[in-house]
Amino acid sequence: MSIFVGNGQSTQKNRGIAHLKANIIVRIIMVIMFDGLFLYGIEETLGIHVILSNLFWWTSLLLVITAYKYRRNWNVGEMPWKYLFLTFLFFGIRELGHLFKSPVLDSIRYIFGIGSAIFLTSALILIYMKLYKRKITSKPMSFIPFIFVLVFPILLIYLYFSGMKTETIKNIFFNLENIIWMIGGSITVYTTYRLGTKSTGDFVHVFMFFQFAAIFAILWKFLGVIGTISCPIPYSIRELMETLFGVCAIISVYVLEKMLRKLSRHIS
């Protein structure tokens, strides 16, 4: 009996240490982020926000790759992993686009943002269908997100060679990215909520942080839409929403990778 009590106390202590570490990391990120807001205020520049965003998304991509090694411990199939990989890859490329300033490159950057939204939404839909609905999606259906993503580069090429001004094209894709993220984020909020009700342990935290990420993405893009319609929103506020989006995204894949790695050790 004392052995079980000792193990329970040890497990509880380890969890407490893990939560403390997570809190310290989040506090450090928040301090850096708010300092960046005061320093880089209202313009989209190569400031602390851009540096942090690139760090979050490329680190998240590495975590997805690492977690993929333990995919056998999460019975969701192969396609959700591919979608998650493309989600973080596309958004990482989008954030690298901050290094170059031109209307055409900005349009391409928004296309990668659109692709990221489509793949994240698709990943959570497939996981929802598999774990919540207990249904398997057919292979042809798995290619629908790729078809949607391909529509936007084709549209860009068409608009560019039709003689439309590059600044106008940029504004079109800016608004399209806002709309796609708001729609995709809304779907993700629903699927992660449903998945959370059927999950146990750290899987609840994985879906919870994906849900938080989707909520911040919706707010970020909603503020962008408002800013273009009537009421200019200070960039620092949208910057805050985008950074919180990245924070929640990296936490979600960190928890997923850590949990699957732990399961792998227990199984072996």
Higher-confidence residue of 44 and 179: namely 179
How many helices (H) and strands (E) the chain has is answered by 9, 0
From 162, 210, 213, select the one nearest 53 (Cα to Cα).
213
pLDDT at position 29 over 60: no
At residue 204 the predicted structure's pLDDT band, cuts being 50, 70 and 90, is: very high
Instruction: Give the mean pLDDT of the chain.
Output: 85
Q: What percent of the chain shows pLDDT beyond 90? A: 62
Whichever domain contains 24, its CATH number is 1.20.1070
CB burial of residue 112 (10 Å; 0-12, 13-18, 19+)? buried
From 30, 77, 84, select the one nearest 62 (Cα to Cα).
84
pLDDT at position 223 over 70: yes
Q: How many domains does the chain have?
A: 1
Residues in CB range of 55: below 8 A, 6 or more apart: none
Between helices 103-131 and 166-197, what is the axis angle to 10°?
Answer: 20
CB burial of residue 32 (10 Å; 0-12, 13-18, 19+)? middle
Residue 59 CA from chain centroid, whole number: 12
At residue 128 the predicted structure's pLDDT band, cuts being 50, 70 and 90, is: very high
| pLDDT given at position 140 | 84
Name, of 18-32, 122-136, 222-236, the range with top average pLDDT.
122-136
From 141, 124, 131, select the one nearest 188 (Cα to Cα).
124
pLDDT tens for 173-202 read: 999 999 999 999 999 999 999 999 988 888
This prediction has a pTM of: 0.83
With helix as H, strand as E and coil as C, how does 62-121 read?
A: HHHHHHHCCHHHCCCCCHHHHHHHHHHHHHHHHHHHHHCCCHHHHHHHHHHHHHHHHHHH
Q: How far apart are CA 207 and CA 100, in angstroms?
A: 34
The answer to whether 236 and 41 have CB atoms below 8 angstroms apart is yes
Q: Which domain does 190 fall in, by range? A: 2-267
Higher-confidence residue of 225 and 35: namely 225
